[in-house]
Amino acid sequence: MDNRQKYIRNFCIVAHIDHGKSTLADRMLELTQTVAKRDMEEQILDSMDLERERGITIKLTPTRMKYNYKGHEYTLNLIDTPGHVDFTYEVSRSLASCEGAILVVDATQGVEAQTLSNVYLALENDLEIVPVINKVDLPSARVDDVIKEIEDSIGLPAKDAPLISAKEGINIDKVLEAVIENIPAPSGVEDAPLRALIFDSKYDNFKGAVCIIRVVDGSVKVGSKIKLIQTGKIFDVTEVGVFSPHAKKTDSLLAGDVGYLCASIKEVADAKVGGTFTDFDADVEPLAGYKQVVPVVFSGIFPIDSNQYEELKDALEKLKLNDSSLQVQPEVSQALGFGFRCGFLGLLHMEVITERIEREFNIEVITTAPNVNYKVYKTDGQVIEISNPANLPKAVEIDHMEEPYVNLHIYLPPEYVGAIMDLCQEKRATFLDMQYVDSKRVKLTYDMPLNEIIYDFFDQLKSRSKGYGSLDYEITDYKTSDLVKLDILLNNEICDALSLIVHKDKAYARGRSIAEKLKEVIPRQMFEVPVQACIGNKVIARETIKAYRKDVLAKCYGGDITRKRKLLEKQKEGKKKMRKIGSVELPSEAFLSILKTN
Amino acid sequence: MRSLYIHIPFCQQKCYYCDFCSFVCSDDTQQKYVDKLIEELKFKGTKEQLKSVFIGGGTPSCLSENLIAKIMTAVSTYFEINETTEITIECNPNSLNEQKLKAYKCAGINRLSLGVQSLNEKILKTIGRIHTCKEFYQIAPLIQKYFSNFNFDIMIGLPNQTNFDVVDTIKKLMQFSPTHISMYSLILEENTKLFNQVQNNEIKLPLNDDVVDQYIIGLNTLKEFGFYRYEISNFCKKGYESKHNLNYWECGEYYGVGVSAHSYLNNERFSNTNNLIDYINCKNFEPFFKEKLTSKELIEERIMLGLRTEKGLNISKLKQNLNYDILKEKGDVIQNLLDNKFVKIEENHLKICEDKFYVSNSIIEKLI
């Protein structure tokens, strides 16, 4: 190892949501004077509006900091990572570019489900873990218990863990020192051919794809000819730089560095996250990427204004560029027209993508009810996988179906165990285990169909545990299940975008509540509209939306005419946003409302 | 021929549901206002013969009869009126008396419109009408004595109003043989006292469905008394259609004078200021709002207004005047509406079916 790399540390921070990860990052930026205090805004690395508003980190952000320790100047590359279960994929990407991780544990909350799964990910990646106990200034902090929890549940020595308050800026220097002392320096070969891992990328209208890379071996500078090993395509590097925390051009990036490069890469697919760049004439093995994550929740996304289809397509492609966990396929719905069926890592991921489309690209969209991937065993021996209820074969052609199950862990205070056990029971879950993590926290383990989680499970968990419950799950396997397709008919026509696949035992209740909900959200039309929920030809629930009876009985004289005309024009404009199922006009809320029928 | 609208923005008290341009003012202001009105009549006057004149408000009957006479003199000086010109004045039962009725008649006014709204004392109070039922019964026979052509305004959808109230009010009005009834549903406008009361749950309005019932019951009662509907909210004995109103619905041209009054001439609609002081002090009657209608807007208005009337939209006239063949442009929509019996086509007119008048907005919106 050369001398230069000895003074570099590449690390990330893993933590459960709300344990103070982004705040700690802020403090480190301040202490190292990477950002002047006056320019500091809260959660500076969370650059998306959405991240700041929700107080979560969605995308990973690398930042270079300088810190003097024992007479040497160290370069510390911090890669901020998301905490939510849906973004495990992003976490695994950042881990692949680090040698170590700071594990932040909230002294009042202790080790949470998500903490554990991220720690295991980090350990799998051979990362050195530096535990840090945060919020020690709070009266409810229970430092000794938490140290014991870390040692017991993770098996990590924690008695020397820095005790900090990120909010108050206490002992932040201890964290940096622990990073330098405990996390190994990178050990790449500087004069070997280039090997740089793309661990994120975003699209810039002027520069093309901006690839965020970790240089493992060799070096890259402006003018270098590089090759993406996975595709063999060759590019000329136009710009390299680092983030501190804003992009800053540099001359080159060397082994051990984290930074970005631009190379006039126009095709989104050519900057695919997980790819390895090398010198154009080199013949080296690609770097191991990281665990490719499979989407588990699927839903249709359609533009409200059908003229925006092309724009939506473009938006999804750009989002895919730095979120390769997002899966996108074109889809046509009778009710909603042209759109896309998208695969997500979870419900939050789905919400975040939808909101990003609306905010960053200004496209209003309709999202259909989320579904999981089902395996359909047909009577002719064929096995197909479907994630769109509209594609389900006829009942007579189906021998049986399987749905994905998860191993679900729920963490909560003991007083809510009863309520949550009831909830799990309602959701077709099988109880597996119950453990006291400590006197204040219980871990419940269930075997449960994923289908039930993506419906309203999370909301229910939160409300029945007064917000204290949290969950974590991993897909285990597929199991045979008695599933049926529930169709919704409006004025006797099937609305394909409202169809669902549900367990037979749940179909009646679900059908009834959807019919009731639709009656509420669909405005009365000029004629009576029957709303029916059906399984095959069998009607299991029916509501009637009465005909609209009055819209104008008022006067209309000279002074009113302009106003009246404008009102009508506006009304007509509003109707354009409605979707027509046969002759029934549906507002876009109708499609969302069936997600929340309880 | 064109019409003339004269706005009198004065009331003794503002009704709780009213968002019209009206004010409670001193005699001095009223005097100044009328002087300005006369100046505007002179400014806009063309000596042309008018189809109709409508003195509306506000409450024109709260002006002294001398001022009304002055206005009428100015109208006949700067425009031409004769016995075929329909000249209407809007009145309120409690500001009217025999003296005024006589004066109106002398001034050439030949039609009177009285704001009754309801003959349920409690309802009148709730909506802030200043008059009482007793005052109506005192003035109605006198109106009959001086005028042969008069209208009563009534309202439906009022707080606590029942179907019975609607029928009862109509029957009581019929004793005085009106020639015309306007039946409006209450529209809750923002910035009115009633709006706030409803927002604060102090007052409950009838549900839309109930208002439709009131409308249908009112309509049937009026029919029994020999009235026919010629526009959504307007009913009359045959031959007593208001020329002034019809002019609006047939997209005819009109002058408007007075504060907030609208004019429509040469495909251009414009209005005066809404501010009384600004109006009284204005120099050259510069329009406050002005829009030149595009051909699309002209077509839309023609459709919107035509379909409000019983006679319907004259299809060939629309094609002739505005080069718009609605049967071709909106063929599918019309066929669908015909199939579902929302509209019908009779003698070259597209009209809304009788029992679908109360959803005319939705129908019109499909056709524009």
Q: How far apart are CA A442 and CA A413, in angstroms?
A: 6
What does DSSP say about strands A276-279 and A584-586: parallel, antiparallel, or unpaired? unpaired
> Best residue in B154, B161, B189, B361 to probe A by mutation, most A CBs within 10 Å?
B361
Q: Which of A154, A182, A210 is a domain's end point?
A: A182
Lowest mean pLDDT among A109-113, A125-129, A294-298: A109-113
Q: Residue B365: list chain A partners with CB under 8 A.
A: 568, 571-572, 575
Q: How far apart are CA B315 and CA B300, in angstroms?
A: 13
Question: A500 and A455 in one domain?
Answer: no
* A560 located within any domain: yes
pLDDT bin (cut points 50, 70, 90) of residue A58 is very low
* A290 located within any domain: no
Inform me whether the pLDDT recorded for A92 exceeds 60.
yes
Question: A455 and A495 in one domain?
Answer: no
The owner of tokens 């009581």 is B172
To the nearest whole percent, how much of chain A has pLDDT over 70? 88
Q: Residue B300: list chain A partners with CB under 8 A.
A: 565, 568-569
For the domain that residue A303 is a member of, what is the CATH number?
A: 3.30.70.870
Inform me whether the pLDDT recorded for B306 exceeds 90.
yes
Question: A443 and A382 in one domain?
Answer: yes
Q: Does B291 touch chain A (CB under 8 A)?
A: yes
Question: A318 and A397 in one domain?
Answer: no
Percent helix, strand, coil in chain B, to 5, is: 45, 20, 35
Inform me whether the pLDDT recorded for B335 exceeds 90.
yes
Distances (CA, A) of B313 to B251, B325, B366: 11, 12, 14
Inform me whether the pLDDT recorded for B71 exceeds 80.
yes
Q: How far apart are CA A400 and CA A394, in angstroms?
A: 12
Beta strands in A71-173 (DSSP E): 72-80, 100-106, 128-134
Chain centroid offset of residue A273 CA: 16
To the nearest whole percent, how much of chain B has pLDDT over 70? 100
Handedness of CA B230, B234, B235, B240 (dihedral sign): negative
Chain A nearest CA to B199, separation (Å): 20
Q: Do A561 and B187 touch (CB under 8 A)?
A: no
The owner of tokens 């619905």 is B249
Question: A318 and A387 in one domain?
Answer: no
Q: How far apart are CA B358 and CA A551, in angstroms?
A: 6
Inform me whether the pLDDT recorded for A20 exceeds 80.
no
Question: A122 and A50 in one domain?
Answer: yes
Q: Do A549 and B212 touch (CB under 8 A)?
A: yes
3-state DSSP assignment of residue B67: helix
Q: Do B184 and A554 touch (CB under 8 A)?
A: yes
Chain A nearest CA to B228, separation (Å): 16
Can you give the pLDDT at residue B127?
Answer: 93
Q: Residue B5: list chain A partners with CB under 8 A.
A: 558
Q: How far apart are CA A304 and CA A578, in angstroms?
A: 8
Q: Which of A312, A339, A367 is a domain's end point?
A: A367
Q: What are phi and psi of A485, to 5 degrees?
A: -95, 130
**Using one digit for the tens of pLDDT, what is the confidence trace for A258-273?**
999 999 888 766 777 7
Nearest to A538 by CA among A485, A581, A479: A485
The mean pLDDT of B290-294, rounded to a whole number, is 93
pLDDT bin (cut points 50, 70, 90) of residue A167 is confident
Chain B nearest CA to A566, separation (Å): 10
For residues B345-357, one letter each, b for 16 or more C-beta atoms within 10 angstroms of the residue's C-beta and e for the rest, the string is: eeeebbbbeeebb
Q: Residue B360: list chain A partners with CB under 8 A.
A: 551-552
pLDDT bin (cut points 50, 70, 90) of residue A333 is confident
Identify which of A148-152, A524-528, B14-18, B224-228 has the greatest average pLDDT. Answer: B224-228
pLDDT: which is higher, A540 or A40: A540
Chain A nearest CA to B109, separation (Å): 20
User: How confident is the prediction for chain A on average, in pLDDT?
Assistant: 83
Angle between helices B295-306 and A561-576 (to 10 degrees): 100
Distances (CA, A) of A158 to A124, A146, A152, A154, B155: 19, 9, 10, 10, 80
Chain B nearest CA to A570, separation (Å): 9
Beta strands in A482-562 (DSSP E): 483-490, 493-494, 500-503, 529-535, 538-545
The owner of tokens 């917000």 is A467
Inform me whether the pLDDT recorded for A472 exceeds 80.
no
The mean pLDDT of B307-333, rounded to a whole number, is 93
Q: Which helix (H) or strand (E) holds B211?
A: helix B208-224
* A289 located within any domain: no
Inform me whether the pLDDT recorded for B246 exceeds 80.
yes
Q: Do A553 and B271 touch (CB under 8 A)?
A: no
What is the dihedral angle through the alpha carbons of B42, B45, B46, B50, rounded to the nearest 10 degrees? Answer: -140
Q: Which helix (H) or strand (E) holds A331?
A: strand A327-333
Can you give the pLDDT at residue B48?
Answer: 96
The whole domain housing A385 covers 374-481
* A61 located within any domain: yes
The tokens for A226 are: 């590089």
Can you give the pLDDT at residue A418?
Answer: 94
Chain A nearest CA to B284, separation (Å): 21
The mean pLDDT of B34-45, rounded to a whole number, is 96
pLDDT bin (cut points 50, 70, 90) of residue A50 is low
Q: Count of domains in chain A?
A: 5
Question: A153 and A36 in one domain?
Answer: yes
Can you give the pLDDT at residue A1?
Answer: 45
Q: Residue A552: list chain B partners with CB under 8 A.
A: 232, 358, 360-361
What is the dihedral angle through the alpha carbons of A123, A127, A130, A134, rounded to the nearest 10 degrees? Answer: -70
Q: How far apart are CA A83 and CA B355, in angstroms?
A: 61
Percent helix, strand, coil in chain A, to 5, is: 30, 35, 35
Identify which of A279-288, A375-384, A546-555 has the greatest average pLDDT. Answer: A375-384
Q: Residue B367: list chain A partners with CB under 8 A.
A: none
Helices (H), A237-390: 309-321, 347-360
Are B170 and B216 spatial neighbours (Cβ–Cβ below 8 Å)? no
Helices (H), A276-329: 309-321
* A288 located within any domain: no
Q: How far apart are CA B312 and CA B118, in angstroms?
A: 30
- Return the DSSP state at A474: E
pLDDT bin (cut points 50, 70, 90) of residue A368 is confident
Q: Do A526 and B358 touch (CB under 8 A)?
A: no
Q: How far apart are CA A291 and CA A272, in angstroms?
A: 14
Across-strand partners of B156? B185
Lowest mean pLDDT among A554-563, B127-136, B240-249, B318-327: A554-563
| Contact residues of A toward B, CB < 8 A | 526-527, 548-559, 561-562, 564-565, 568-569, 571-572, 575, 583
Handedness of CA A448, A453, A457, A461 (dihedral sign): positive
Q: Residue B362: list chain A partners with CB under 8 A.
A: 526, 548, 551
pLDDT: which is higher, A243 or A429: A429
Chain A nearest CA to B2, separation (Å): 13
Task: For Cα atoms B155, B232, B238, give the angle at the middle one, nearest 5 degrees.
Answer: 100
Q: Which of A219, A250, A279 is a domain's end point?
A: A279
Chain B nearest CA to A239, separation (Å): 54
What is the dihedral angle through the alpha carbons of A392, A393, A397, A399, rounded to the nearest 10 degrees? Answer: -20
* A285 located within any domain: no
Choose among B156, B182, B304: nearest Cβ to A565.
Answer: B304
For the domain that residue A394 is a member of, what is the CATH number?
A: 3.30.70.240
Q: Looking at beta carbons, which pairs linking A508-513 to residues 24 or more positions away fall under 8 Å?
A: A508/A540, A508/A541, A510/A486, A510/A597, A511/A486, A511/A535, A511/A540, A511/A541, A512/A540, A512/A541, A513/A597, A513/A598
Amino acid at position B2, single letter = R
Q: Do A526 and B261 touch (CB under 8 A)?
A: no
Across-strand partners of A537? none
**Using one digit for the tens of pLDDT, what is the confidence trace for B79-130?**
999 999 999 999 999 999 999 999 999 999 999 999 999 999 999 999 999 8
Q: How far apart are CA A524 and CA A513, in angstroms?
A: 19
Choose among A548, A550, A553: nearest Cβ to B233.
Answer: A553
The mean pLDDT of A82-97, rounded to a whole number, is 59
- Find, in chain A, the residue whose alpha carbon is nearest to that of B298: A565
Q: Which helix (H) or strand (E) holds B198?
A: helix B193-199
Chain A nearest CA to B185, separation (Å): 5
Angle between helices B360-367 and A561-576 (to 10 degrees): 70
3-state DSSP assignment of residue A117: helix
Question: A455 and A410 in one domain?
Answer: yes
Question: A555 and A493 in one domain?
Answer: yes
**How many Cα atoms are found within 13 Å in the side-chain-facing hemisphere of A332?**
1
Q: Domains along chain B?
A: 2-248 (3.20.20.70), 314-368 (no CATH)
pLDDT bin (cut points 50, 70, 90) of residue A417 is very high
Question: A337 and A421 in one domain?
Answer: no
> Best residue in B22, B365, B366 to probe A by mutation, most A CBs within 10 Å?
B365
Largest alpha-carbon pair distance within chain B? 61
Inform me whether the pLDDT recorded for A155 exceeds 50.
yes
Q: Does B264 touch chain A (CB under 8 A)?
A: yes
Q: Residue B215: list chain A partners with CB under 8 A.
A: 550, 553
For the domain that residue A247 is a member of, what is the CATH number?
A: 2.40.30.10
Sheet of A72-80, strands arranged across: A61-69, A72-80, A8-15, A100-106, A128-134
* A396 located within any domain: yes
On the 0-12 / 13-18 / 19+ scale of CB atoms within 10 A, B82 is: exposed
Question: A226 and A95 in one domain?
Answer: no
> Best residue in A491, A553, A567 to probe B by mutation, most B CBs within 10 Å?
A553
Chain centroid offset of residue B145 CA: 24
* A585 located within any domain: yes
Q: Do B256 and A559 touch (CB under 8 A)?
A: yes
> Best residue in A529, A546, A548, A550 to probe B by mutation, most B CBs within 10 Å?
A550
Q: Residue A565: list chain B partners with CB under 8 A.
A: 297, 300-301, 304
Question: A496 and A585 in one domain?
Answer: yes
The mean pLDDT of A453-464, rounded to a whole number, is 81
Q: Does B262 touch chain A (CB under 8 A)?
A: yes
Neighbours of A298 (CB within 10 A): 22
- Find, in chain B, the residue whose alpha carbon is nearest to that of A553: B185
The tokens for A261 are: 């490069």
The mean pLDDT of B233-255, rounded to a whole number, is 95
